[in-house]
């Protein structure tokens, strides 16, 4: 069990090698949720994630013999970059094992810090097995991403800064993968603000802590945008902390994580990866727990692939009704396309894409089919445009 003194010592030890990031009130999100939301901008760390805190503390504590041997780590990305960066700063050789399907941006950035990157396995568990093999065969020091007291204490420094900046928080929501961050945060909260309720937050396909705390067998797997917390083998030491402090774990949907990414971009002008947006997803999914309370969350990572970010934002626009994708059946005669565009333009809609089909898609040779994407101001505006088109044409959403 780590102590508050361990976190304080870690804070002093890593001072100067990590940023003391801002912790600011988010007015837009506060109005939306009915809670007073404060965001810790820990994605502003050099590697784009909070993981630097634990890696810096663990590497600072290595013995001379361990430094000479070099280090090895397994990670889906953020721990990898953190270990690679702080090993380079310390002049230590680093080998990082990552699952084969890790987003390209995380692989590239890890290698850019000078680490040797090994892509192995389809899951984090398989990557961990390969890292352990390298530890045994090559004599490297294994830096666990979460099940290590020094790493847990380092991660806890983020919560330490949050309470130093806003001492009267009522609730703290922490993205939970292996458990290092939520365990360190719980230790800090219990000492600095015992009345503050700490929640872990997991995504539904990887709700390992929620299952373990409920005494259920751990069954995880499947696609998730929050690959940074897609963990099967949770930390046993973090699990002990969560049990001792009675920390509940909220489970959120992929939909809410995607929505949270979009809201952070639009409301806060900040980019978050899936795991980095999970804290906000917890507030959105369980609003009754946090309404009227002062709530701390963090953007704990921003290393999202550009294509995934673009697709996520487009999906958010579609769900919000600000993008309409319609299939319109119309008579195949002159002036019909002009009628469609005139009605949309008159109501202030913006046509983004058009595909006009005559030969094969329409039910009759006398008809044509139009596939169109329209940008609207909001859902009500989109519904108005759709109603206007429905006065003249048969249409359906896709």
Q: Render pLDDT for 224-252 as a digit per residue (tens, 0 to 9).
A: 999 889 988 899 999 999 999 999 999 99
Query: What is the average pLDDT across 166-181?
Result: 97
Say if domain 53-142 classifies as CATH 2.40.128.30: no
Query: What is the average pLDDT across 148-172?
Result: 98
CATH class for the region spanning 4-50+149-315: alpha beta
Query: 71-81: per-residue pLDDT in tens?
Result: 999 987 799 99
For residue 257, what are the contacts with CB-CB under 8 A and spacing of at least 6? 203, 224, 225, 226, 274, 277, 278, 281
Q: Where are the domains of the chain?
A: 4-50+149-315, 53-142, 322-397
For residue 78, what are the contacts with CB-CB under 8 A and spacing of at least 6? 47, 48, 49, 50, 51, 106, 228, 275, 301, 303
Query: 95-123: per-residue pLDDT in tens?
Result: 999 989 887 777 888 999 999 999 999 88
Query: 175-221: per-residue pLDDT in tens?
Result: 999 999 999 999 999 999 999 999 999 999 999 999 999 999 999 99
pLDDT band at 1; cut points 50, 70, 90? confident
- Alpha helices for 301-357 (secondary structure H): 306-319, 336-346
Residue 346 has a pLDDT of 95
CA distance 125 to 128: 5
Residue 325 has a pLDDT of 93
Q: Is 24 exposed, middle or buried (0-12, 13-18, 19+ CB in 10 A)?
A: middle
Is 294 a residue whose pLDDT tops 90? yes
Residue 279 has a pLDDT of 98
Share of the chain above pLDDT 90, in %: 85
Query: What is the average pLDDT across 290-296?
Result: 98
CA distance 222 to 230: 9
Cβ neighbours around 294 below 10 Å, total: 17
Residue 363 has a pLDDT of 60
Share of the chain above pLDDT 70, in %: 98
Residue 365 has a pLDDT of 62
Can you say whether the dihedral through the CA atoms of 203, 204, 205, 208 is positive or negative?
A: positive
pLDDT band at 65; cut points 50, 70, 90? very high
Query: What is the average pLDDT across 32-55?
Result: 97
Query: 304-347: per-residue pLDDT in tens?
Result: 989 999 999 999 999 999 999 999 998 888 899 899 999 999 99
pLDDT band at 361; cut points 50, 70, 90? low
Query: What is the average pLDDT across 387-392?
Result: 94
Helix axes 4-14, 149-165, angle to 10 degrees: 90
Residue 364 has a pLDDT of 61
Q: Which CATH number fits domain 322-397: 3.40.50.300, 3.40.50.10140, 3.30.70.260, 3.30.200.20?
A: 3.30.70.260
CA distance 13 to 3: 15
Long-range contacts of the stretch 260-268 (C-beta < 8 A, 24+): 260/284, 261/225, 261/304, 261/309, 261/312, 261/313, 261/316, 262/312, 262/313, 262/316, 262/317, 263/29, 263/32, 264/299, 265/313, 267/26, 267/28, 267/29, 267/32, 268/26, 268/28, 268/29, 268/39
Q: Say if 4-50+149-315 and 53-142 have the same CATH topology.
A: yes
């Amino acid at each position: 069990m780590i102590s508050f003194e361990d976190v304080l010592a870690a804070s002093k030890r890593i001072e100067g090698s990590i940023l003391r990031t801002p912790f600011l009130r988010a007015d837009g999100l506060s109005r939306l949720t009915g809670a007073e939301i404060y965001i810790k901008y820990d994605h502003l760390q050099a590697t784009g994630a909070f993981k630097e805190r634990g890696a810096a503390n663990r590497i600072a504590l290595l013995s001379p013999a361990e430094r000479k041997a070099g280090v090895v780590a397994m990670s889906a990305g953020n721990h990898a970059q953190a270990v690679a960066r702080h090993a380079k700063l310390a002049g230590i050789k680093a080998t990082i094992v990552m699952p084969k399907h890790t987003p390209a941006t995380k692989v590239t950035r890890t290698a850019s810090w000078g680490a040797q990157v090994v892509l192995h396995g389809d899951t984090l568990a398989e990557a961990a097995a390969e890292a352990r093999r390298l530890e045994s065969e090559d004599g490297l020091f294994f830096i666990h991403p979460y099940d290590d007291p020094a790493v847990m204490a380092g991660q806890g420094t983020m919560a330490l800064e949050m309470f130093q900046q806003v001492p009267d928080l009522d609730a703290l929501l922490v993205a939970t993968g292996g458990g290092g961050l939520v365990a360190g945060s719980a230790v800090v909260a219990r000492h600095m603000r015992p009345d503050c309720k700490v929640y872990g937050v997991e995504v539904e396909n990887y709700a390992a802590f929620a299952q373990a705390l409920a005494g259920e067998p751990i069954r995880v797997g499947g696609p998730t945008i929050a690959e940074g917390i897609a963990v099967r083998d949770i930390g046993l030491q973090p699990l002990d902390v969560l049990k001792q402090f009675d920390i509940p774990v909220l489970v959120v949907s992929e939909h809410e994580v995607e929505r949270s990414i979009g809201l952070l971009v639009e409301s806060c002008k900040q980019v978050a990866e899936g795991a980095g947006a999970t804290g906000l997803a917890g507030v959105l999914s369980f609003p009754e727990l946090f309404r009227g309370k002062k709530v701390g969350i963090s953007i704990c990572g921003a290393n999202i692939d550009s294509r995934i970010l673009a697709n996520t934002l487009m999906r958010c626009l579609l769900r919000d009704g600000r993008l309409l994708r319609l299939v319109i059946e119309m008579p195949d005669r002159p002036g019909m396309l002009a009628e469609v565009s005139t009605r949309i333009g008159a109501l202030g809609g913006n046509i983004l894409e058009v595909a006009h089909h005559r030969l094969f898609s329409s039910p009759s040779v006398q008809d044509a089919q139009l596939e169109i994407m329209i940008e609207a101001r909001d859902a009500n505006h989109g519904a108005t445009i759709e109603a206007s088109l429905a006065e003249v044409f048969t249409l359906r959403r896709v």
